[in-house]
Amino acid sequence: MNRFFQAIFAAAWAAVSLQAFPDWDDALRQSSDWYGSAEAAQVADSVLAYQTDSGGWPKNLNLAEPPSEAYLTGSEKARYPTIDNGGTTTPLFYLARVNAAQPDAKWRAAMQRGIDYLLEAQYENGGWPQFYPLREGYYSHITYNDNAMVRVMRVLEEVSSGESVWTWVDEATKQQAAAAVEKGIECILATQVRVDGQLTVWCAQHDVETLAPAKARAFELVSLSGGESVEIVRFLMDIETPSPRVVAAIEGAVAWFSKVAIPGMSSELVRDANGERDRILKESPGEDLWARFYEIGTNRPIFVGRDSVVRYELSEIEQERRGGYGYYGSWPKDMISKEYPEWRSRLALQSEGPVLYLVGDSTMADKPRPTTPEKGWGQLLREYALLPLRVDNHARNGRSTKSFIDEGRWDEVVSRLKEGDWVLIQFGHNDEKEHKPSVYAEAHTSYRDNLRRMVRETRAKGANPILATSVARRKWDDAGERMVPTHGDYPLVVRQVAEAEKVPMLEMETLTTALEESKGVEGSKKLHLWFEAGELAIRPEGLSDNTHYSRLGAREVAALAIGEMRRLELPIARYFADALVARDGSGDWDSVEQAIYKAPQGPEGSPRWIIRVKHGEYRERAYVQRERGNIRLVGDSPETTVLVEGIHANMIGPDGKKLGTFRTPTLQVDGEGFQVHSMTIANDAGPVGQALALRVDGDGVVFRDCVFKGWQDTIFVNRGRHYFENCYIEGHVDFIFGGGLSVFENCHIHCLKDGYITAAATPAQQEYGMVFLDCRITGEPGVRTYLGRPWRAHAQTVFVRTEMSEVVRSAGWHNWTGPEREKTARYAEYGSYGEGGDMGERVSWARQLSRKEAKELEVNAIFESGEPVAPFAPKP
């Protein structure tokens, strides 16, 4: 049984026996043995009596008692099948439990009809309406309200597994259920509300046509849901192998929940003098609160009475609504503090790449409470990590080497280790506490022995240990000129163990001492937690903490750790960025252009500056200056990290003239050696003329695992040498054009409309222009396209071992209505295959390469005129 239903039916596992059924809820709170009883069968027969002709069940009824005559002859509305309030899903679950205990064909037949009902009710876009058959009004919206759609997907997910109580389900139904769940996931991802390029959460209901947030009842207006969105995130976190889009959806939603939490408050349901219910807010420094509804764009909690007027204070709506509706709650609390960290840890375990395990104390640990300003430096280190590296932070507040081992935390880390992983070990802050026997470890005996054990057990698993001295406490001498060491011999012991065991060591004590001193007595307070009374809701009395870090302090210490890894030339250092771009403001920059502009201009031969761009839509243009080429831009994934703008040639520029083609790119690269990985670069101007997604004038430029979207003139490779690997490129007319030497290897070319893929302008003296190696060409249904036409007379384009679908015209190439260009254009193919790959009807002025010529068209051979392919070879 999945976690969702375990929570709903938690009491069912208790040994409870009922003599009667006052209501339907009691039938769902039984021991597993009870479902095999005659009493359970009697209730199941009653449930069958409520099933409608469509296969679904109504809601808000006591299904444990047979339907009355009044019900059968009364209002049709009461009998209407639905997924709301547990309608259909709860009866299905109950019947499955009873059938597992005492199999009966009639119950299986009813369940099959119920499953078919859910499958039939699903919209083509993957959503489910509240009522089916459809009813007019908000009932036809895609309905997350009261977790209706999530309940359906949970049931179908269990059905598709064919396990537990669903072993009787046939293969065809299991496959249909699995497909419905996949479509439902796509709907969830498509309806997640994006504000200013950032993923947030969901509305309680969405329009079936536009997928936009939609209004329901008078007091349920368009908004972001702080309630229903929690179960959506939980469902996504239960997906066994989440796609990058699912990961981004979870990360975006959790970040939003953290951002909108109301610190130091709780809500309480009370009774007034007349015994009527009311809801009040009160200060609770140890608690955090969330609103049920948030205004889209401002994130202000909103409250709506039956008059449908938005108000920003709960006290301003009628008492009946204040006491009769859950406008406040702590719904995301456990999800953020427990389930989300566990989910991240599961991702690390699934990783085929290396995992960096962090073990240490509170200075390194994650701080899951969203409203605390305290952050561990390991928490910020994770944000600079680049895939496929995963950072799994096991550091915990108050731990020493002794307590970390005694509590079994170290054994848990060891059990997870695989060959090639890394373990970063930093203790000492608590080991030195002689007054606490549970954590105290004497420096030269047990502390030393514990560190040695951790090092040796890490190596025994084929993993790599890294030691780190403790970070400095902020303690100044009386003159306020120098920091006073507080860790005694503990850093010395770390150094000794590192030398004896030949372990790399991060000199964090020395570096953090220098960091504190560089800020001065007052400036260093910003690295820590200093608040006056009344400044911090969760600590109204104020706070003066010289040990733990603020976000700023944690980020600067994480940067020191990355710098140390680079200084030691550890292989893991290549998986960390130097700067972080985050659309939500949590990074060093919130703009790609800004991060590129602020990158250092080191001398030739300097290490490449790496910028991680977190998931989000960055609606901006970015320009890479010639002197800033030594940069690698790395997105979280092309599905989730998007740089996009909609500038086209017919727009009027600042000079009052049309921009023209060459001033429209979303990304323009003049810098040499620039690299982009795992991003989408797009121009969404649409079919309005020339509109570049990318313009490249720099040499040695590399794009790996990227997506390029546009319409006409998507990619302009103007000059220089360029390498595209595992990229997706779409467009309509001349959407890969220019005079550069550009190799496309293992790329997917997709044609949106009849047109031309390439328009090369290769200079006559240049041997190569555009070379496509082991690529694939597809297109929209009915589209027919040419492989290319010569923009300039000596255009050179060649396709080698390319799969060509039926979209490729049999002639292959077009002369741009210039027969004279047939004499100079250099078009060729080798090993084309697929419906469009037949060379039999190709134009006579294009040639087929020999095997020897094709073999020579390898990346290194193409680029060997001039510099070797050094800028193209190394992968991150």
Active site residues: 713, 734
Position of tokens 């680079």? Answer: 566
Cα torsion 644, 647, 648, 649: sign? negative
- What is the spatial distance between Cα 382 and Cα 55, in angstroms, rounded to a whole number? 49
The token pair that represents 236 in the structure block: 């996504």
Cβ neighbours of residue 553 closer than 8 Å, sequence gap 6 or more: 375, 377, 526, 527, 528
CA 586/CA 612 separation, integer angstroms: 12
Residue 536, both tokens: 């911090």
Question: Is the separation of the CB atoms in 154 and 235 below 8 Å?
Answer: yes
71 burial (CB, 10 Å; 0-12 / 13-18 / 19+) is middle
Return the exposure string of 79-102: e unless at least 16 CB atoms fall within 10 Å of the residue's CB, then b.
ebbbbbbbbbbbbbbbbbbbbbbe
Radius of gyration of the chain from Cα atoms?
A: 32
CA angle, corner 308, sides to 212 and 83, nearest 5?
55
Distance CA(777)–CA(790), nearest Å, equals 19
- HEC profile of 691-753: CCCEEECCCCEEEECCEEECCECCEEECCCEEEEECCEEEEEEEEEEECCEEEEECCEEEEEE
Per DSSP, the residues of 41-53 read HHHHHHHHHH--T
Angle, vertex CA 742, rays to CA 740 and CA 745, nearest 5: 170
CA terminus-to-terminus distance, the chain: 41
Residues across the chain: 876
* Backbone conformation region of residue 645, classed left if phi is above 0, alpha if psi is from -120 to 50, else beta: beta
Cα separation, 283 vs 738, whole angstroms: 64
- Residue 757's H or E segment, with its range, is strand 748-760
